[in-house]
Structure 1
Amino acid sequence: MSTIKRKADENTRAYLIGSGIANLAAAYYLIEDAGVDPQNIVFYEQWDVAGGALDGSGDDKRGFLIRGGRMHEEHYRCYWDLLSHIPSYDDPELSVYEETVDFNSRYVTDNHARLLRNGKRVDLSSYGLSVKDQLDMGKLLFTPESKLDNLRIEDWFSGDFFHSNFWMIFTTMFAFQKWSSLMEMRRYMLRFMHLMPGMKYLHGIWRTKYNQYHSVVVPLQRWLSDRGVRFELESRVTDIEFDLNEGKKRATTLQIVRNGSEEAKVELGEKDFCFFINGSIVDAADEGDLHAPARLKGVEDSGSWTLWKKIAAKAPDFGNPDVFCGDIDRSKWYSFTVTLRDRTFHDYMEDFTGNLDGTGGLITMTDSNWLMSIVIARQPHFPNQPSDVKIFWGYGLYPDHIGNKVKKPMSECTGEELLEELWYHLKIEEMMEPIMHSNKLINCIPVAMPFIDSLFMPRAKGDRPKVIPDGSENFAFLGQFTEVEDDCVFTVEYSVRTAQEAVYGLFDCGKKPLPIYVGAHNPIAMMKAAAAISE
Structure 2
Amino acid sequence: MSTKSKAYLVGGGIGSLAAAAFMIRDGNMPGGNISILEAAPIMGGSLDGAGNPADGYSLRGGRMLTTDNYECTWDLFKSIPSLGNPGKTVFEETVEFNQKYKAHSMARLVDRRRAKVPVTSMGFSMQDRIELLKLSNADEDALGASRITDWLSPAFFETEFWYMWVTTFAFQPWHSAVELKRYLHRFMLEFSRIETLGGVKRTIYNQYDSLVLPLQGWLEAQGVRLVRDCTVTDLDHKSEDGKFVVTGIHCLCQGNSEVIAVNDGDLVFLQNGSMTDASSLGSMTSAPAKLTKADSGGWTLWEKLAQGRPQFGNPAAFNSCIAQSCWESFTVTLKHPAFFDEMNQFSGNEPGTGGLVTFKDSNWLMSIVLAHQPHFTNQPVDVQVFWGYALFPDRVGDFVPKPMAECTGTDILQELCGHLRFDLETVASANCIPCRMPYITSMFMPRMRSDRPLPVPRDSRNFAFISQFVEIPGDVVFTVEYSVRAAQIAVYELLGIDRAIPPITPHDKSLRTQFEALIKAFK
Question: Letter of the aligned partner of 2:125 in structure 1?
Answer: S
**Identical pairs, percent:** 44
Say whether 1:20 aligns with 2:13. yes
Instruction: Give yes or no for the alignment of 1:176 onto 2:171.
Output: yes
Given candidates 327, 343, 348, the residue that maps to 1:333 is 327
Matched, 1:426 2:420: yes
Partner of 1:347: 341
What is the distance in 1 between the residues matched to 2:427 and 2:511? 52
Q: Distance in 2 between matches of 1:334 and 1:410?
A: 8
**Matched residue, 1:466:** 454
Report what 2:105 is aligned to.
Answer: 111
1:89–1:214 contact (8 Å) kept in structure 2 = no
Between the aligned partners of 1:284 and 1:518, the Cα distance in structure 2 is 36
| Partner residue, 1:504 | 492
1:9-29 deviations in Å (ceiling 9; x for gaps):
221100001111111110011
Q: Deviations over 1:110-137 (max 9, x none)?
A: 0000000021100112010110010111
1:385-408 Cα offsets, whole Å, 9 max, x none, are: 001101100001000000011000
Q: Alignment partner for residue 89 of structure 1, among 83, 86, 92?
A: 83
In the alignment, which of 423, 438, 462 is matched to residue 450 of structure 1? 438
- CA distance in structure 1 between the aligned counterparts of 2:31 and 2:160, rounded to whole angstroms: 50
In structure 2, the CA distance between the partners of 1:198 and 1:184, relative to structure 1 (3 Å rule), is same
**Deviation digits for residues 207-264 of structure 1 (CA, Å, limit 9, x no counterpart):** 00000000000000000001110111010001112213542111111110123x3211
- Structure 1 Cα separation of the partners of residues 261 and 320 of structure 2: 32
Tell me how far 1:314 sits from its aligned partner: 4.7
- TM-score, structure 1 length as denominator? 0.96
Q: Work out the CA distance in 2 between the residues paired with 1:335 and 1:257.
A: 31
AA aligned opposite 2:396? I
With over 3 angstroms needed to count, the CA separation of the structure-2 counterparts of 1:21 and 1:434, relative to structure 1, is: closer
Q: In the TM superposition, what whole-angstrom CA distance separates every residue of 1:29-74 from its partner, at most 9, and x where no partner exists? A: 1111111111010010000010011111100000011111221011
How much has 1:300 moved relative to structure 2?
1.2
Please tell me the residue identity of whatever aligns with 2:93. E
Do the aligned partners of residues 244 and 121 (structure 1) sit closer, same or farther apart at CA in structure 2, a change above 3 Å counting?
same
Which structure 2 residue ranges, 5 or more long, are not aligned? none
Could you tell me how far 1:435 is from its partner in structure 2?
A: 4.3
Alpha-carbon distance between aligned partners in 1 of 2:433 and 2:118, rounded to the nearest angstrom = 32
Partner of 1:3: none
Q: Does 1:57 align with 2:45?
A: no
Counterpart pick for 2:507 among 489, 506, 519 = 519
Which residue among 144, 161, 165 is the counterpart of 2:160? 165
User: In structure 2, the residue corresponding to 1:208 is in which secondary structure?
Assistant: coil
Question: Aligned match of 1:31 in 21, 24, 35?
Answer: 24
Q: 1:159 & 1:471 partners in 2: Cα distance?
A: 44
- The 3-state SS of whatever aligns with 1:28 is helix
Shift of 1:518: 2.8
Q: Is the contact between residue 9 and residue 35 of structure 1 (CA under 8 Å) also seen in structure 2?
A: no
Inter-partner Cα distance in structure 2 for 1:88 and 1:180: 37
2:41 is the counterpart of 1:10: no
- The question of 1:481 aligning with 2:469 is answered yes
- Cα deviation for residue 448 of structure 1 reads 0.6
Matched, 1:370 2:372: no
Q: Is 1:271 aligned to 2:265, yes or no?
A: yes
Equivalent pair of 1:466/1:477 in contact (CA under 8 Å): yes
User: In structure 1, what is the Cα distance between the partners aligned to 2:137 and 2:331?
Assistant: 40
Q: Unpaired runs of 5+ in structure 1? A: 1-7
Q: Secondary structure at the match of 1:200?
A: coil
Asked if the contact 2:339/2:427 (under 8 Å) is kept, the reply is: no
- Structure 1 counterpart of 2:129: 134
Deviation (angstroms), 1:508: 2.3
Letter in 2 for 1:128: G
Aligned-partner residue type, residue 255 of structure 1: H
Q: Are the counterparts in 2 of residues 12 and 37 from structure 1 also a CA contact under 8 Å? A: no
Q: 1:298 aligns with which of 292, 297, 309?
A: 292
Instruction: Let me know the Cα RMSD of the aligned residues.
Output: 1.0
Out of 144, 147, 152, the position equivalent to 1:149 is 144
Task: State yes or no: 1:198 paired with 2:193.
Answer: yes
Deviation at 1:512, TM superposition (A): 2.9
Indicate how the Cα distance of structure 1 residues 533 and 236 shifts in structure 2: closer, same or farther if over 3 A, else same: same
SS of the residue aligned with 1:67? coil
Question: Which string of whole-angstrom CA distances, capped at 9 and with x for unpartnered residues, describes residues 132-153 of structure 1?
Answer: 0101111112111010111000
Return the letter of the residue paired with 2:440. Answer: I
Q: For the residues of structure 1 that align with 2:11 and 2:447, how far apart are their CA atoms?
A: 24
Question: Conserved in 2, the CA contact under 8 Å of 1:46 and 1:303?
Answer: no
Q: Tell me, yes or no, if the aligned pair for 1:115 and 1:366 is still in contact at 8 Å.
A: yes
For the 8 Å contact 2:339–2:426, the answer to whether it is kept is no
Q: Secondary structure at the match of 1:304?
A: coil
In 2: Cα distance, 1:69 partner to 1:243 partner: 41
Q: What amino acid does structure 1 have at the position aligned with 2:137?
A: F
Aligned counterparts of 1:47 and 1:87: Cα–Cα separation in 2: 25
Q: What amino acid sits opposite 2:461 in the alignment?
A: E
Q: Which moved more, 1:238-247 or 1:302-311?
A: 238-247
Q: CA-to-partner distance for each residue in 1:276-331, whole Å, 9 max, x for gaps?
A: 11011112110011111001211112333111111111522111001101101110
- Work out the CA distance in 1 between the residues paired with 2:208 and 2:384: 18
Cross-structure match for 1:5: none
Q: Deviations over 1:335-356 (max 9, x none)?
A: 0000010110101111111111
Question: 1-side partners of 2:295 and 2:444: how far apart?
Answer: 21
